[in-house]
Amino acid sequence: MISEHSEDLLRDVASLPPLPGVYRYFDAQGQVLYVGKAINLKKRVSSYFQKNHGGTRIGHMVSKIVRLETTVVRSEAEALLLENNLIKTLNPKYNILFRDDKSYPYLKMSGQAPTAKRPALEGFSDAPVGVRMVPNPNAFARVSYYRGGVEKKHRYFGPYPSAWAVKEAILLMQKVFRLRTCEDPVFSNRTRPCLLYQIKRCSAPCVGHINAADYAQDVANAERFLRGDAREVMQELETRMMAYADRLEFEQAAEIRNQVAALSNVLHQQSVDNVSDRDVDILAVKVQGGKACVNLAMVRGGRHLGDRPYFPVHVEEAASLEDADEAARPSVEVQVLEAFLAQHYIDVPMPSVLVVSDPVGKDLLKALSEQIGVKVSAIHQPREQRRAWLDMAQTNAALQLARLLAEEGSQQARTRALAEALDLAVEALDELRIECFDISHTAGENTQASCVVFHHHKMQNGEYRRYNIEGITGGDDYAAMRQVLMRRYSKLAEALNEAKHSGVLPAGTGRLPDLVLVDGGKGQVAMAREVFVSLGLDLSLIVGVEKGEGRKVGLEELVFADGRDKVYLGADSAALMLVAQIRDEAHRFAITGMRAQRAKVRVGGGKLEEIAGIGPKRRAKLLQRFGGVRGVALASAEDIASVEGISRELAEDIYRALH
């Protein structure tokens, strides 16, 4: 194995220090192959080059290594954190990798809730006699769905595993505590209660049906409930109810009684009567067929909020590489679980208690504890309620993985059917790459072309591209298709032609797809043919998707640029289903881009109008002051606040929305 590598690389390996650190392997193209950690860098890295790994995955990876980089750290805990930061950043081919998902949603309490000590009418602005008192939105906290960066002036609860879980919590806040959900401009301009008041989902603070002190008490109870103090809230409400009854204030007592009944019903439904845990994450791992699923369930405030599945990539490759020089390598399940913990909680709040389906290493727990500043414990064999939570998470992990395997099996069957139907010369179906183009515009305006990519049996969203088409006659789809194909393939064709003469393909050069789909019939295919002829590319790559009679789905025919006759695959053909799937995705991607461009051009300041508190008058003042939306976006919050009618708080909201 040693003779396969350069002297420089082997010299670097020999000179490594016996210290803890992180190492990275690179191939000839500069791509990161693997990121690993070690207590002893010299011993760990040397083991890869001193052993004969044969035709194993380790051997396949080691044969590609041309360069390595290392970073020395103070402890294994530091190495663990650095390793997983690099894995998420560099996306190495041979590491277990969890893709970044959307950020978690939160339940947001906005505004500064007044305390019970303040006067009953505080929260309403002064007004002349005979004029309606306008409520101050900041005095009556609003509950809302939120996703994004948090601000200190508001309170946030969560994170929640899904938007559905947040909306369920908001509905709970309405049913039990009757908190408002309306935006501030709506709140400040109400003259009578809305429908939510009529159906007992809001106490109507907008029109003074509840004073600021009582509303503040409801907000405080809601926040305590969300933090897990449900029993204490129930007892306090019962005490208040009895106090109202003793004073013969039966209407107020009845209102509290209704709250107690609603809260009691919620506690019964959520089964949190005997749960001592406040915040817990439950993680279950299932590995099957070279794939893995980690099911993460969340308990917050003693309530089970739901779960979310995660599917790592490179499981098969990494399973044979992790701790390759250790005699007792952990199971794949443990490797997947530890990779998830280390990568997921880098930028996500984590509780101090984890319930896990497989044992977790002490070094990992130590590193996580150092990261959040609180000791993290992982319970592997739980009892009672925790056991029930873990059993549920394991069942869901198995179900989600079975669904993924079924979907991938179906998608692979479609890929195989298409390759056979079109006689595509592809050595491995996993490597089949299809690019599809579509043109979209509105009456010739805002013409955009989309390119979507199908690879590894699925759509690759990260490789999608949009092209703004300029310099053509409005509505000329043929000219638009010519332009997008030239922009997409001209540089690649030039590099391939140079490689034919020099015999060396320049580093970083992409690859031609195995199939180029264009949404259209003979006209679009003829235009694509002209482009490929001028670039010297293979005409057999081009296939047009021509709509059938009546534009009905399932009647599409395939049109070829190399002179072959049209092909109708049949409505039930798995190959046609895949073609239609890719074509529809290209159409969707083009439509959304065109609409966004159209809105930007026609509306101009439309983004301003989407900001709460910005109406036509304020928008007009901003545009007049700064000369357009771009000028507003370039202005600081202080400059925006200097405009008449724009408060400092609203100016900060505008600045954040435009950035």
Q: What tens digit of pLDDT does each residue of 216-248 get? A: 888 888 888 887 776 777 777 777 778 777 778
What average pLDDT does the segment 12-29 reach? Answer: 89
What average pLDDT does the segment 109-128 reach? Answer: 53
Question: Does 483 lie in the same domain as 382?
Answer: no
The closest alpha carbon to 535, from 570, 497, 565, belongs to: 497
Of 386, 402, 418, the last residue of a domain is 402
Average pLDDT, the chain: 80
Residue 272: predicted pLDDT: 40
Residue 582: predicted pLDDT: 92
Question: Does 564 lie in the same domain as 505?
Answer: yes
In a domain, 85, yes or no: no
Instruction: Give the three-class secondary structure for 233.
Output: helix
pLDDT at 166 over 80: yes
pLDDT at 113 over 70: no
Query: For position 324, which CATH number holds?
Result: 3.30.420
* DSSP letter for each residue of 158-215: ---SSHHHHHHHHHHIIIII--B-S-HHHHHT-SS--HHHHTTS---GGGTSS-HHHH
In a domain, 417, yes or no: no
Q: Which residues of 527-544 are buried (b: 16+ CB within 10 A; e: fewer)?
A: bbbbbbeebebebbbbbb
pLDDT band at 482 (very low <50, low <70, confident <90, very high): very high
Structural domain boundaries enclosing 568: 429-593
Residue 598: predicted pLDDT: 58
Question: Does 260 lie in the same domain as 236?
Answer: yes
Question: Does 389 lie in the same domain as 265?
Answer: no
Residue 110, number of CB atoms within 10 A of its CB: 20
pLDDT at 600 over 80: no
In a domain, 219, yes or no: yes
Residue 97: predicted pLDDT: 81
pLDDT at 5 over 90: no
Query: For position 434, which CATH number holds?
Result: 3.30.420.340
Instruction: Give the three-class secondary structure for 305.
Output: strand
Query: For position 23, which CATH number holds?
Result: 3.40.1440.10
Pick the more confident residue, 506 or 48.
48
Domain count, the chain: 5
Of 593, 620, 636, the last residue of a domain is 593
Q: What is the 3-state secondary structure (H, E, C) of 404-442?
A: HHHHHHHHHHHHHHHHHHCCCCCCCHHHCCEEEEEEEEE
Which pTM was predicted? 0.62
Which of 248-252, 325-329, 377-381, 470-474 is the least confident region?
Answer: 325-329
Question: Does 552 lie in the same domain as 513?
Answer: yes
In a domain, 463, yes or no: yes
| CA pair distance 388, 420, nearest whole angstrom | 48
Question: Does 234 lie in the same domain as 211?
Answer: yes
| CA pair distance 655, 657, nearest whole angstrom | 6
In a domain, 167, yes or no: yes
Question: Does 460 lie in the same domain as 538?
Answer: yes
In a domain, 112, yes or no: yes
Question: Does 468 lie in the same domain as 323?
Answer: no
Q: What tens digit of pLDDT does each residue of 259-297 get? A: 677 666 655 444 443 446 678 999 999 998 778 899 999
Residue 322: predicted pLDDT: 52
Q: What tens digit of pLDDT does each residue of 483-526 get? A: 999 999 998 888 888 777 766 666 656 788 999 999 888 889 99
pLDDT at 249 over 80: no
Question: Does 587 lie in the same domain as 440?
Answer: yes
* DSSP letter for each residue of 444-486: TEEEEEEEEEEETTEE-GGG-EEEE--SS-TT-HHHHHHHHHH
Question: Does 544 lie in the same domain as 467?
Answer: yes
Q: What is the DSSP letter of 138?
A: G
Pick the more confident residue, 6 or 543.
543
The closest alpha carbon to 68, from 19, 9, 3, belongs to: 9
Question: Does 462 lie in the same domain as 544?
Answer: yes
pLDDT at 73 over 80: yes
Question: Does 626 lie in the same domain as 535?
Answer: no
What average pLDDT does the segment 364-391 reach? Answer: 87
Would you state the structure tokens that stand for residue 346, as one six-digit string?
A: 């880098």
pLDDT band at 551 (very low <50, low <70, confident <90, very high): low
Residue 597: predicted pLDDT: 64
In a domain, 407, yes or no: no
In a domain, 94, yes or no: no
Residue 531: predicted pLDDT: 92
Residue 118: predicted pLDDT: 44
Of 237, 270, 303, the last residue of a domain is 270
